[in-house]
Amino acid sequence: MENSDQVQLILPTSPSYEKVAQTTIAHLGIRSGFSLKEIEDLRSVMKETTNLFISARQWETPLHLNYQFSQRRMQVTVASQTTEPLEIKEELFETFQSIVLPLVTEVVVNREKAWVVFEIAAESEDVS
């Protein structure tokens, strides 16, 4: 991403901190020029992504969130620094995909290394 800013956040892997990740992505979305609907999409994607890690409940290491953003674009990496794979139930993963895939430009989930990267680009502002 050209001319991008970066924010890093480290949170406990706990449901009580899920809202912090959602609020952070919403504020950065506003700063990047996303519409209100797109900001709600950002919050939804962040919620589903953190849920993958919280539902695994297999480690106590914190989540590392890296938000890289520029005008109307954002790439987010969520990772847990562990040597264990991200063990999530298949039905939860399918729910994650069904919610997230329509909202993002790209998503990569690496269960073996316990990280998720997603990218979102704001829709065109053209109004016909």
Report which residue type is found at 76: V
Q: How many CB atoms lie within 10 A of CB 13?
A: 19
Q: Three-state DSSP class for 113?
A: coil
Q: For residue 88, what are the contacts with CB-CB under 8 A and spacing of at least 6?
A: 52, 55, 56, 111
Report pLDDT digits (tens) over 36-94.
Answer: 999 999 999 999 999 999 888 766 789 999 999 999 999 999 999 888 888 888 999 99
pTM exceeds 0.85 for this model:
yes
Burial 91-110 (b: 16+ CB within 10 A, else e): eeeeebeebbeebbeebebe
Q: Name all domains of the chain by residue range, CATH numbers in brackets.
A: 5-121 (3.30.565.10)
